Amino acid sequence: MTKVKLFLTDVDGCLTDGGLYYSAEDHVMKRFCVYDGMGMVRLQKIGIPCGILTSETSGIVSKRAELLHLQYLRLGVGSQVNTSSKTKRQAAQEICDELGITLAEVCFVGDDINDIDLLSAVGLPCCPPNARPEVQAIPNIYKLQTPGGQGAIREICDLILAGRMNN
Q: Is 69 left (phi over 0), alpha (psi -120 to 50) or beta?
A: left
27-37 per-position pLDDT tens digit: 788 889 999 99
Q: What structural domains does the chain harbor?
A: 6-161 (3.40.50.1000)
Dihedral sign computed on CA atoms, order 98, 1, 135, 65: negative
Whether 121 shows a pLDDT value over 80: the answer reads: yes
Whether 167 shows a pLDDT value over 50: the answer reads: no
Whether 166 shows a pLDDT value over 70: the answer reads: no
